[in-house]
Chains A and B, each alone.
Chain A
Amino acid sequence: MLKFLARRLLLAVLVLLTVLTISFALTRLSGDVAVSMAGAQATQEDVETIRKAYGLDRPLTIQFVSWVAGIASGDLGRSYLYHAPVSELIKGRLPVTLTLGATGLVIALCLALPLGIIAAMNEGRIWDRGIMMVAVVGQAMPGFWLGLVLVIWLGVKWQLLPISGVETWTGYVLPGFVLAFSAVPALMRLTRGGMVDALASDYVRTARAKGLTRMSVVMKHALRNAAMPVVAVAAVQLGFMLGGSIVIESVFALNGVGYLAWESIAKNDFPVVQAVVLFLATIYIALTLIADLFNAVLDPRLRIG
């Protein structure tokens, strides 16, 4: 178990280093940062002043090393737009994004698991086909469009739920649902596939031969084995959701990390952009690591070797 953990951790650190390099490179590749920061009316001198002030005149390697050194000591850089440390900006907006992501994941699992199980138990029958058809439609529907449709009907016409802001928890329902919607088809298919295999397996036949109730056979013996890939993908989907929050947060006007990223990209606030990319990637990596660990708990065969 310890060896397994160490190997996964090492892998995570390597991925993180790669992300570090890429996010740095991307912001530098998107044109001359100093020019776009200075704005359209700026003179050559203004640009040079900005270049000096932000250390952009130094060689790229030096810029990279000082950035990484800053990160290592907890300094993610300063936003030139907000004149505040990026870490504080992210910290202030993180609760909104995390709540949104968690809401999305919970809604997604609450829909995907039961539907996947029901589909698998009725494999090939009308229920299965109906559910899978809904999944196809769901997969084809873009999130921002569904978001707008829900805003129009539930928010504006029937006035059931708030359409923007998160003054109360009800503000999370619509965006959470829209976010979940993109994850449901994949999770549901995976649950169904895993359950179909598990229900046809020898160990489920054994469980039935032992006279266990249908509930115990399906929920204990089959689901435990079918859940392993679902857990891994759910973690990855949560990562996608946090990334996808960039779109959803702007549709629903939620002031989270996603909104911050969108804003900084639009205004070329490069310290924020590279820090947010790094931050979301770190969460993504952490989630994958957690999924691996969770899988190891679920599947005893993974704990050795």
Chain B
Amino acid sequence: MHDAPALLDVEGLRVRFNPKIEAIRGVSLRVERGQTHCVVGESGCGKSVSALAVMGLLARGAKRHAAHMRFDGQDILGLSERDLQKLRGDRMAMIFQEPMTSLNPAYTVGSQMAEVLVRHRRVSKQQGLDRAAELLAKVGITAPGMRLAQYPHQLSGGLRQRVMIAMALMCDPELLIADEPTTALDVTVQAQILRLLRDLQQELGLAILLITHDLGVVARIAHKVSVMYAGEVVESASATDLFANPRHPYTRGLLACVPVPGTIKRGEPLGSIPGTVPRIADGFVGCGFRDRCVHAMPACAISVPSRDDGAGHRYLCHLQ
């Protein structure tokens, strides 16, 4: 099913940090231009590692393989560090979970923002600062001129995340990877940041790869969703299809954990999935979710079929 070339097309991504354990076991992701693709899953399932692998920002010693990894049709797997640097911050940008520590405490907001444009567009520092002021205003920061001269410690968490977003947009990237951008923020600020991301996407035609463990976030912003479990994408579909018709037992479990107003009965416990994500060593076969799955059958220990409903809804399970 490869019609129009996707902006980001990752097939069979594998990442390993130590010789025995593979953290990512064959992840495939397609992010279309101008769309939001959410990757959702529990802590430790490999969402962030997948994103870092795409950016080429994995820690030293991590090994990365893939069937292919293309950005705008160009192979980025075999790219040299130098060529990858030219892509990063320019055509693909990334923001992180911790706005409190993701900005350098030693430099002003303005200088950190300006240097992106100076690096990729060879402009003067002043031109960089002008662009930075313009973007700070765009992400809803009042008095951008004053903010440019401030240091990160003088800003609140929400403001810092807005600065991170503005900084990521300096070179008008086509792809923005957002790794749990709202997790560390207050609930009210979370909503503002999500709205900002959605508005920016519509205005700039930005593709967003959003990593989250919050299905509420997914429901509000996603076009497509990939559900990850133990280093694999166990189900992927359009957001509407996934919420209406979840196929994988893990996805169903996740959805059951989200309280929906009106359907919860007083005194009844909220849904939860028993157990935790297993460590999957080499030589593991079958379904990684079988120990926690109510539908587990003997066949689950032997193999997992990959199913496709023909309309882009794919999942890994024996259940039809």
Q: How large is the interface on A (under 10, 10 to 19, 20 to 34, 35 or more residues)?
A: 20 to 34
Contact of A299 among B93, B101, B105 (CB under 8 A): B105
The answer to whether B101 touches A201, judged by C-beta atoms less than 8 angstroms apart, is yes
The answer to whether A224 touches B116, judged by C-beta atoms less than 8 angstroms apart, is no
Complex contacts, B107 vs chain A, CB 8 Å? 221, 224
Contact of A202 among B89, B98, B119 (CB under 8 A): B98
Query: How far apart are the CA atoms of A214 and B153 in the complex, in Å?
Result: 25
The answer to whether B115 touches A212, judged by C-beta atoms less than 8 angstroms apart, is yes
Query: How far apart are the CA atoms of A212 and B90 in the complex, in Å?
Result: 10
Contact of B106 among A202, A212, A298 (CB under 8 A): A298
- Closest CB in chain B relative to A235 CB, distance in Å: 19
Give the interface centre of A207, A210, A298 by most chain B CB atoms within 10 Å: A210
The answer to whether B105 touches A209, judged by C-beta atoms less than 8 angstroms apart, is no
The answer to whether B86 touches A211, judged by C-beta atoms less than 8 angstroms apart, is yes
Per-position 1/0 for A261-305, Cβ under 8 A of B: 000000000000000000000000000000000000011110000
Contact of B104 among A211, A213, A214, A221 (CB under 8 A): A221
Contact of B96 among A202, A211, A216, A299 (CB under 8 A): A202
Query: How far apart are the CA atoms of A221 and B104 in the complex, in Å?
Result: 7
Enumerate B58-105 residues with CB–CB distance to A below 8 Å.
Answer: 81, 85-90, 93-94, 96, 98, 101-105
- Any chain B CB within 8 A of the CB of A205? yes
Chain B interface residue count, CB cutoff 8 Å, equals: 29
- Any chain A CB within 8 A of the CB of B167? yes
Q: If the complex has contacts A202-B96, A212-B89, are A207 and B105 also in contact, measured as CB distance less than 8 A? A: no
Complex contacts, B55 vs chain A, CB 8 Å? 209
- Any chain A CB within 8 A of the CB of B24? no
- Any chain A CB within 8 A of the CB of B164? yes
The answer to whether B102 touches A208, judged by C-beta atoms less than 8 angstroms apart, is no
- Closest CB in chain A relative to B298 CB, distance in Å: 44
Complex contacts, B93 vs chain A, CB 8 Å? 209-210
Contact of A209 among B86, B89, B98, B101 (CB under 8 A): B89
Query: How far apart are the CA atoms of A212 and B112 in the complex, in Å?
Result: 11
The answer to whether A300 touches B105, judged by C-beta atoms less than 8 angstroms apart, is yes
Q: If the complex has contacts A209-B55, A300-B151, are A225 and B104 also in contact, measured as CB distance less than 8 A? A: yes
Query: How far apart are the CA atoms of A202 and B167 in the complex, in Å?
Result: 15
Query: How far apart are the CA atoms of A203 and B95 in the complex, in Å?
Result: 11
The answer to whether A301 touches B153, judged by C-beta atoms less than 8 angstroms apart, is yes
The answer to whether B106 touches A209, judged by C-beta atoms less than 8 angstroms apart, is no
Complex contacts, B94 vs chain A, CB 8 Å? 209
Query: How far apart are the CA atoms of A247 and B116 in the complex, in Å?
Result: 51
The answer to whether B104 touches A203, judged by C-beta atoms less than 8 angstroms apart, is yes
Closest 7 CB pairs of A and B: A211-B89, A211-B88, A210-B89, A202-B101, A203-B104, A300-B151, A209-B94
Q: Enumerate chain A interface residues (CB-CB to B < 8 A).
A: 201-203, 205-214, 216, 221, 224-225, 298-301
17 A-B pairs with CB atoms under 8 Å apart are A202-B98, A202-B101, A202-B102, A203-B102, A209-B55, A210-B115, A210-B119, A210-B167, A211-B116, A212-B89, A213-B85, A214-B81, A216-B119, A221-B107, A300-B106, A300-B108, A301-B105
Q: Enumerate chain B interface residues (CB-CB to A < 8 A).
A: 55, 57, 81, 85-90, 93-94, 96, 98, 101-108, 115-116, 119-120, 151, 153, 164, 167
